[in-house]
């Protein structure tokens, strides 16, 4: 059983790296942002609650986030473990999490702020398969076609300069300080996220002994 948390600034590749790890080690990838986006698309009551908060790049209230995470983990469909992405995002969430779960490792993807805007503003999500794609430098004729499945790529509503500025501010003020909390209790694998996707993945596995 392996239980990991993946952290990092916006655009550092958390989702991509978590999916690669999950696929090879049979881990369940739990992305809190994806759960919220699904609810927005499906027009659920939760979706109606989080839609405006997300679109301006603010954090959803802790009670809501914690109940979503608790509910998801209580499904116990993670026989081989899980990798959780986008949570915890502040000290209260981290304390709630550490009280209930033993974590085997925290992956911290490190990237300078200067690299964030370029990556996030060229990021698209496939509306068919849900994978992240990067359209930087791509031929305009193919810029909205998913490289994996041919589906239609769309930009996230919060991948705009204003919402991004709010998300970056929260990352530095609220999320980054919890790395110290994890460092006191858990093993934190710090990885340079400016490298290519396979290099970052190899380095994560090396540091986690996988």
Q: Does 86 bind ligand AMP (CB under 6 A)?
A: yes
E-assigned strands of 15-112? Answer: 28-31, 81-85, 105-110
Task: Verify binding: residue 29, ligand AMP, rule CB under 6 A.
Answer: no
Positions annotated as catalytic residues are 14, 89, 123, 156, 167
Determine, following the binding rule CB under 6 A, whether residue 33 of this chain makes contact with ligand AMP.
Answer: yes
Exactly one of 84, 93, 200, 208 binds ligand AMP (CB under 6 A); that residue is: 93
Select 150 or 161, whichever has its Cβ closest to ligand AMP: 161
Query: What CA–CA distances, in Å, run from 82 to 56, 104, 170, 174?
Result: 29, 10, 25, 24
Which has the closest alpha carbon to 86: 31, 147, 26? 31
Exactly one of 8, 11, 13, 57 binds ligand AMP (CB under 6 A); which one? 57
Strands (E), the chain: 2-8, 28-31, 81-85, 105-110, 123-126, 132-134, 153-154, 188-192
Q: How, if at all, do strands 105-110 and 188-192 pair?
A: parallel
| CA distance linking residue 187 with residue 167, whole number of Å | 26
Query: Does 59 sit near ligand AMP (CB under 6 A)?
Result: yes
> Binders of ligand AMP among 131-160, rule CB under 6 A?
158
CB of 60 to ligand AMP, least distance (A): 4
Identify which of residues 2 and 92 has a Cβ nearer to ligand AMP in the complex: 92
Report in angstroms how near the CB of residue 206 gets to ligand AMP at its nearest: 25
Q: Does 89 help bind ligand AMP (rule: CB under 6 A)?
A: yes
Closest CA to 158 of 64, 38, 74, 33: 33
123 part of the interface to ligand AMP, by CB under 6 A: no
40 interacts with ligand AMP by CB under 6 A: no
């Amino acid at each position: 059983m392996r239980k990991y948390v993946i952290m990092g600034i916006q655009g550092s590749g958390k989702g991509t790296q978590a999916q690669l790890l999950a696929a090879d080690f049979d881990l369940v990838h739990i992305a809190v942002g994806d759960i919220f986006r699904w609810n927005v698309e499906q027009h659920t009551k939760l979706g109606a609650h989080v839609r405006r908060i997300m679109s301006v790049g603010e954090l959803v209230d802790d009670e809501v986030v914690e109940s979503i995470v608790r509910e998801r983990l209580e499904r116990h469909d993670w026989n081989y473990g899980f990798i959780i992405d986008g949570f915890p995002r502040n000290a209260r969430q981290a304390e709630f999490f550490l009280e209930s779960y033993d974590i085997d490792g925290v992956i911290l993807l490190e990237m300078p702020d200067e690299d964030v805007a370029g990556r996030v503003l060229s990021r698209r999500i496939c509306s068919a398969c849900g994978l992240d794609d990067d359209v930087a430098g791509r031929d305009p004729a193919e810029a909205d076609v998913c490289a994996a499945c041919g589906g239609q790529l769309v930009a996230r509503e919060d991948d705009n300069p204003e919402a991004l500025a709010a998300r970056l501010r929260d990352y530095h003020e609220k999320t980054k300080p919890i790395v110290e909390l994890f460092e006191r209790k858990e093993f934190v694998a710090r990885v340079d996220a400016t490298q290519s996707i396979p290099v970052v993945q190899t380095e994560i596995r090396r540091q986690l002994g996988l």
